Amino acid sequence: MEEQRLSFEVMLSYLYRALEGVEDPRQPSNAQRYSLRDLVLGAFSVFYMQCPSFLEHQRQMQSRQGHNNAQRWFGVMTIPTPNQIKNVLDQVAASLLFPIFRWVFQALAAQGFLKPYEVLNAQLLVGLDGTDYFSSTTIHCDQCSHCTHRNGQVSYHHSAILPVIVAPEQAHVLSLMPEFIRPQDGAEKQDSETAAAKRWITAHHALVGPGRLTVLGDDLYSRQPMCQTCIDHQVNFIFVALPTSHPALYEWLTYLDANDEVHCSQERVWTGREYELRQYRYVNDIPLREEHPALLVNWCEVTVIREADGQQRYHNAFVTLHPIDDATVADIVTAARARWKSENENHNVLKTKGYHLEHNFGHGHHHLAMTLLTLNVLAFLFHTVLHLVDAAYQRIRQQRGTRKGFFQDIQTLTKYLLFDSWQHLIDFMLDDSMPTPTGDTS
């Protein structure tokens, strides 16, 4: 059976499917007014619309017209209150929503939308980067990490790895299931970003397929235990490797350079505005650390210089398992530099472009903060996918210009007007026809 082409309705059906397997954490009661499905879909609709008042607007519309957009679009049969959403979702683990990310990924792959993201002989690049999404000196729960400052004050925070598929030539990143940095059962030490990244690789490396995944990370990741985790799961890596954190590796490089065993190449590149000189140095099979056993990795360095005045624009160095030679070094470095998209096109968008990642939508005592974060990231993923697969969505986003303007329009329209579906709204926004005047116009 041919898979349905991705659309808002198809992706929403994935959310429905995931909810079918979620057990309602509440005790059966005749007083239950809202179903678990309504509570989850209600929370998701708020994030998807980027409008904290969306449900209240739809409650008012229901009172006026007997119907509302939350019901018609999202399938929210009875509009829940914010407090009820928070109380129940605090008992629903975020991981129960993770299959949705996998189903969206599989559909994108099956329908050819991931082809433009393939680099380095059909590899997919996944940027791994941690970020905080809650911080307080007073509010905390058992899932919080904590930090004691020099003045003795304790602050509490929630953090997560938010992996995304990236590619050098692609403006959009594709969100994958998060991994939360939180206290682990039986662990004496606090959880860490690298420990969370190892868990993510262990749990989700098979998503892409054996030997087809390359993870990107900053200097924090380029330690042997992390690299070994990648190797154990047939995952390649390109990690930043700085001299300050890898003294043994750079001692080897100094020795090899003195014996002319570090290879060098250069290319002249037109950026669209000016010419750059990109100078590469690389060597294969070099020990990652001094302690034995030491992994042998391949190392490369890039220095970008503006040709017009000789000013250095960029410099960095990386370790990888991809073989490096004159033909591959530029592609490897270009792939490595796509890591910045994890911050700019993912974290920054989620924090500053309407998703309000760091806003305290609800902290709870158990799962609430993590489950709301997951619904927020899913909303971002749905919009990103529509931008890739839906021509009408692309047109309206292009016509409206800014992300902020687009969401302001849909928030205003859905506050006052009833639409049969999400597609009905998009078609309405694209309709250039003028209403035909009626009556006497003389």
Question: How does residue 341 score in pLDDT terms, banded at 50, 70 and 90?
Answer: confident
Helices (H) and strands (E) in the chain, counts: 16, 14
How far is 342 from 217, CA to CA, in rounded Å? 9
Q: What is the C-alpha to C-alpha distance for residues 126 and 173, in angstroms, rounded to an integer?
A: 9
Mean per-residue pLDDT of the chain: 91
Q: What is the secondary structure of 68-96 as a DSSP string?
A: -HIIIII--SSPPPHHHHHHHHTTS-GGG
Dihedrals phi, psi of 289, to nearest 5 degrees: -145, 175
Strand pairing report for 179-181 and 174-175: unpaired
Q: How confident is the model at residue 442 (pLDDT cuts 50, 70, 90)?
A: very low
pLDDT of residue 31: 58
Show me where the domains of the chain are located. Answer: 8-94+359-428, 236-327
Q: Which of 20-24, 130-134, 214-218, 438-442 has the lowest mean pLDDT?
A: 438-442
Cα dist from 427 to 10, 46, 67, 393, whole Å: 18, 21, 20, 9
Evaluated on CA atoms 386, 392, 393, 394, the torsion sign reads positive
Average pLDDT on 75-103 reads 95
All residues at 6 or more sequence positions from 392 whose CB lies less than 8 Å from its CB, including other chains: 423, 426, 427, 430
User: In this predicted structure, which of 121-135, 157-171, 211-225, 428-442 has the lowest mean pLDDT?
Assistant: 428-442
Mean pLDDT of 13-34: 86
- Report d(CA 111, CA 76) in Å as an integer: 29
Q: Does residue 435 have a pLDDT over 60?
A: no
pLDDT band for position 69 (50/70/90)? very high
User: What distance in Å separates the CA atoms of residue 23 and residue 420, rounded to the nearest whole number?
Assistant: 30
Q: How far is 270 from 276, CA to CA, in rounded Å? A: 6
First to last CA, the chain: 59
DSSP E strand boundaries for 153-288: 154-161, 164-166, 174-175, 179-181, 213-217, 236-240, 263-270, 275-287
The Cβ of residue 312 has, within 10 Å, a number of other Cβ atoms equal to 11
User: Which pLDDT score, from 0 to 100, does residue 6 have?
Assistant: 94
Q: What pLDDT does residue 144 have?
A: 80
CA 136 to mean position of chain CA atoms: 24
Asked whether residue 356 carries a pLDDT value surpassing 80, the answer given is no
- 3-class DSSP state of 118: strand
Q: Is 132 strand, coil or helix?
A: strand
* CA dihedral of 194, 196, 202, 206, whole degrees rounded to 10: -100
168 touches 344 (CB < 8 A): no
176 vs 163: CA distance, rounded Å = 6
Size (the chain), residues: 442
Check residue 155 and report its DSSP letter.
E
pTM of the model: 0.93
User: How far is 105 from 204, CA to CA, in rounded Å?
Assistant: 12
Residues ≥6 apart with Cβ < 8 Å to 2: none
pLDDT of residue 441: 37
Q: How far apart are CA 384 and CA 375, in angstroms?
A: 14
Say how far apart CA 361 and CA 412 lie, in whole Å: 22
Candidates 51, 75, 82, 81; CA nearest to 413 is: 51
